[in-house]
Copies of this chain bind each other. A is one copy, B any other.
Amino acid sequence: MSKTPALPASLKQFLVKGNELFLPGISIDCVIFGFHENTLKLLLLDSAKSNKWTLPGGFVLKSEDINDAAYRVLLERTGLNDIYLKQFDVFGQPNRTDASVHKTTFEQYGSKIPKDHCMIQRFVSVGYFALIDYTNFSIQNDPINSVYDWKGIEQVKHLPIEHDHGAIIQKALESLRTQLAYLPIGKNLLPKKFTMPELQKLYETILNKPLDRRNFQRKMLGFGILNKLNEARKGGAHKSPFLYTFNDKKYQKALKEGLYGSW
């Protein structure tokens, strides 16, 4: 896993033309959420040398909308396309990043960063969170950090995290919780077909508290955003639960008003 590849094209371009191509002082960090085995998970990259985990991030082209940049960064670093992305906060502490990390990254490839390069400067980072379907996910190796892994949100607290990315993750989680009623979490974090218990577990893990099975079902059905299928999830050790899909139109409409309720 820890080979020493040639300097990737994107990195080389950044090294040589960084000052010319990118906006100075601004970066983007993506907190990527997935849901698997009743756990909310984060996609983290291992910045090999420092042995710390980082968020996939990048920079903004000089004439690029910052939201477009976020989608591009996500695509370039994970291969993920057509993903739900939402800006949630800005991180602007003066010493939030450790410039030496960038040096280490480039030294991996035997390259050095020019002293006047904008990369060495302070960065204000715009945080985005992404919601993706874990089951339908396959990452192509990140061009910068070859190792990636999913980590449970509880587990993350005990991992070494690069820069202030730990704080960014916590803030992302907080935003996810407080904006829950307005976010298409079900649609984006679950597979196309899912069961009511699965949907419930998703809400329970995000809210970090148990919910009553029967009330949850009544409430969800009450929103009128689900299509009940004539199939059941076979193979479990117990009664087979029905499968559902989202009624996209009604889901979108309901989210605008917010999925009202005292979660």
How many of chain A's residues have a CB under 8 angstroms from any CB in B?
Answer: 25
Tell me whether A90 and B90 are in contact in the complex, defined as CB-CB below 8 angstroms, given that A25-B26, A124-B26, A262-B260 are known contacts: yes
Q: Are B124 and A94 in contact, CB atoms less than 8 angstroms apart?
A: no
Contact with B along A56-69 (1 / 0, CB 8 A): 00001011111101
Tell me whether A65 and B92 are in contact in the complex, defined as CB-CB below 8 angstroms, given that A23-B25, A124-B60 are known contacts: yes
Bound together, the chains give a CA A217 to CA B69 distance in angstroms of 47
Copies per assembly = 2
Q: Is A126 an interface residue (CB 8 A)?
A: yes
Bound together, the chains give a CA A12 to CA B263 distance in angstroms of 54
Q: Is A24 an interface residue (CB 8 A)?
A: yes
Q: Are A122 and B62 in contact, CB atoms less than 8 angstroms apart?
A: yes
Q: Is A134 an interface residue (CB 8 A)?
A: no
* Residues A93-114 near B (CB distance < 8 A): 93-94
Bound together, the chains give a CA A66 to CA B94 distance in angstroms of 8
Chain B residues near A26 (CB-CB < 8 A) = 25-26, 124
- Considering the complex, give the chain B residue whose CB is closest to the CB of A127: B90
Sample (24) of A-B pairs whose CB atoms are under 8 Å apart:
A23-B25, A23-B124, A24-B24, A24-B25, A25-B25, A25-B26, A26-B26, A26-B124, A60-B92, A62-B94, A63-B94, A63-B122, A64-B94, A65-B93, A66-B90, A66-B93, A66-B124, A67-B92, A69-B92, A87-B89, A90-B90, A90-B126, A92-B126, A178-B182
